[in-house]
Amino acid sequence: MTEPRRKRGAERTSNRGPAPIAQLRPRRVINPYPPMALLSPDQIEAIHQASMHILENFGIEVMSPRALSLFEKAGAKVDHASANVRVDRGMIDEALKTTRSGYTLTPRNPANTIHLGGNTINFTLVAGPPNVHDMERGRRAGNLRDYADLTRLAQHFNCVHMLGNQVCAPVELPANSRHLDTYFTNLTLTDKSFHVSAIGRGRALDGIEMMAIARGMTLDQMADDPGIATIISVNSPRRFDEMMAEGLMTMAEYGQSVAVTPFTLMGAMSPVTLAGALAQQNAEALFGVVLTQLVRPGAPVMYGAFTSNVDMKSGAPAFGTPENTKANIASGQLARRYGLPYRTTPGSASNVADAQGAYETLMALWGAVLGHGNLVYHAAGWQEGGLTASFEKFIIDVEMIQHMMEFLRPIVVDEAELAVEALGAVPTGGHFFGEPHTLERYATAFYQPMLSNWQNYEAWQEAGGLDATARATRLWKKALEDYVEPVMNIAVREALEAYVAKRKEAIGQGEP
């Protein structure tokens, strides 16, 4: 568990500088524009039919006896010797009848409720890297101190709506119980919802139990009002391992959100063609959706997509490519075809927080937005193809997310905005700087970036000549100075501490 870092009045204020970091206010982000359609209805149907052929004729390997039993009881063709399961389109259709097109996740602070589905878009902190990096201390193994600081940054910035599963792995802690320390950190240093680890039943159930404690609810109550989520990564091609299957079934059993996400890298874990990769992704995602509904009809589930390509020269994963961007958009069309909320991801293969990292991430982010993603996972801090959580990249990503949020504000066209009187008042060849219409609006007329620098060259040089990455270093350090820990009832905190201690003792040297 982390030592809480609470703000200390004047001691912190003296180091803060003249003003807080400019950022957008908290809000539910709505995508008001029609989703982009790269695929025609006939092409969507062709991908659907190919997916049905995969499920009916090739099947999916399921390395969980419990899951095999559920499929067999439901009428699937199960070969226990090979653990292969084949489901027909009728079973898919029946499962989709009980899924939901939208639902909410409520954390301990209801003001931070997450809406998944429809036209709402949410952005999360990066999740899962084994390493962490900043420009002052360099690249290092993930650890709990950095984990806590990145969690604080997610709490501080309003555009990060949700935490992912372990922003970096605290490798100094025992692998079998570190999830308890990270859940405790998430629940005490933020009041936002988060993703739990679904590597087996125990880790998933611990996250469910701890969120219920933090919300003062029973498990039955939280089953009807979910507060957490998980990502189930399919071992593509066509395999659900036992730990992932058990995690999925546990989350569904207790009514918590699952995003079934095939790991389809074209040329490696899926066909080299985009159509083939989408057909495989679609089959694997739908198979996981069926499993959630066999466990608990109506369990909240999302259509997850993570299709990108590899570098065919080296086999290394690539992200933010044109193919990745097209896959993000096309996957949104598939999710809407089945009436499911949609999880997607921006990303970059750059090893540093540089121009490559920014343009690859923004390319994929556009795909996520144009594809009407509801949950944009790994949105802030992803670096090195997901192997590193970067403090500077977090700030750069927050700036890009805020740009996107402002882009999604509809244009207002009314008498005041048309400014016809102002146009008539300014003479030909004049300017609008001193016009009352401008003076009434100048402070809020445009998005004010926190990272961009609009000084002329001489003024920029005089101020230190810092590039965007160097400015990002200053910003994450200031954000940590300005961070305020959300209040938690002392009895709730003690209950969480007691749960962690009890579970660590019960786990011992074994698996949770």
Query: Over the chain, what is the mean pLDDT?
Result: 95
**Which residue in the block uniquely carries the two structure tokens 């990564």?**
233
Band of pLDDT at residue 3, cut at 50, 70 and 90: very low
Q: Which two tokens stand for residue 446?
A: 């445009």
Backbone angles phi, psi at 25, to 5 degrees: -70, 155
- Indicate if the pLDDT at residue 12 is higher than 90: no
For the stretch 351-375, pLDDT in tens is 999 999 999 999 999 999 999 999 9
Domain membership flag for residue 421: no
pLDDT over 50 (residue 5): no
> What does the alpha-carbon distance between residue 432 and residue 36 come to, in Å, rounded to a whole number?
37
Q: Which of these, 278, 241, 203, 263, lies nearest to 512 by C-alpha position?
A: 203
- Whole-number pLDDT of residue 165: 87
**Residue the block writes with tokens 């809406």:** 115
Whether the per-residue pLDDT at 403 is higher than 80: the answer is: yes
| Residue 91 confidence (pLDDT) above 60 | yes
Cα separation, 3 vs 145, in Å, equals 9
Give yes or no for residue 456 having a pLDDT over 60: yes
Kindly list the distances between the CA atom of residue 231 and the CA atoms of 206, 216, 244, in Å, as whole numbers in the listed order: 16, 25, 9
* Position 483 in a domain: yes
Tokens of 347: 């990303």
Percent with pLDDT over 70 in the chain: 96
The DSSP line for 467-478 is: -HHHHHHHHHHH
In the predicted model, what is the mean pLDDT of residues 340-345? 98
Quote the DSSP letter at residue 484: -
How many residues would you count in the chain? 512
Residue 148 lies in a domain: yes
Has residue 166 got a pLDDT over 80? yes
Q: What span, in angstroms and rounded, lies between the C-alpha atoms of 161 and 156?
A: 10
Check residue 54 and report its DSSP letter: I
pLDDT of residue 18: 62
Tens digits of residue pLDDT in 30-53: 999 999 999 999 999 999 999 999
User: Higher model confidence: residue 492 or residue 18?
Assistant: 492
Reported as a single tens digit per residue, the pLDDT across 230-289 is: 999 999 999 999 999 999 999 999 999 999 999 999 999 999 999 999 999 999 999 999
| Residues whose CB falls within 8 Å of the CB of residue 37, separated by 6 or more in sequence, listed in order | 333
What is the three-class DSSP state of 30?
Answer: strand
Per-residue model confidence as pLDDT tens digits over 391-400? 999 999 999 9
pLDDT at 7: 42
259 CB-near residues (< 8 Å, 6+ apart): 229, 230, 231, 232, 301, 302, 303, 304, 343, 375, 377
Please tell me the predicted confidence (pLDDT) of residue 231.
Answer: 96
- Give the number of other CB atoms < 10 A from CB of residue 43: 15
Q: Is residue 253 part of a domain?
A: yes
Over 60: is that where the pLDDT of 340 sits? yes
How deeply is 437 buried, as exposed, middle or buried, from its count of CB atoms within 10 A (0-12, 13-18, 19+)? middle
CATH code, domain carrying 337:
3.20.20.480
Question: Could you tell me the sign of the dihedral formed by the alpha carbons of 369, 375, 376, 381, in that order?
Answer: positive
Distance (Å, rounded) from C-alpha 226 to C-alpha 323? Answer: 34
DSSP string, 417-444: HHTHHHHHHSPTT--STT-HHHHTTTTT
The mean pLDDT value for 480-504 works out to 98
Please give the distance of CA 64 from its chain centroid, rounded to a whole number. 27
pLDDT digits (tens, 9 = 90+) for 128-145: 999 999 999 999 999 999
Would you say residue 16 has pLDDT above 90? Answer: no
382 forms beta bridges with 389
Q: Give the predicted TM-score (pTM) of the model.
A: 0.94
At 92 the pLDDT is 98
* DSSP class per residue in 103-170: EEE--SSGGG-EEEETTEEEEEE----SEEEETTTEEEE--HHHHHHHHHHHHH-TT--BB-S-SS--
Number of domains in the chain: 1
Residue 11 reports pLDDT greater than 50: no
Bridge pairing between strands 317-318 and 308-310:
antiparallel
* Opening angle at CA 271, ends 123 and 335, nearest 5: 40
- The angle at the Cα of 433, spanning 431 to 439, to the nearest 5 degrees, equals 140
Is the residue at 67 inside a domain? yes
Q: Tell me, what's the pLDDT at 402?
A: 98
Please report the sign of the dihedral spanned by the C-alpha atoms of residue 72, residue 76, residue 81, residue 83: negative
CB atoms within 10 A of CB 47: 22
pLDDT over 90 (residue 14): no
What are the φ and ψ backbone dihedral angles of 310, each rounded to 5 degrees? Answer: -110, 160
Q: What is the pLDDT of residue 19?
A: 85
Domain assignment of residue 418, yes or no: no
Q: Which domain, by its residues, includes 91?
A: 23-410+447-511
In a domain, 371, yes or no: yes
Residue 1 lies in a domain: no
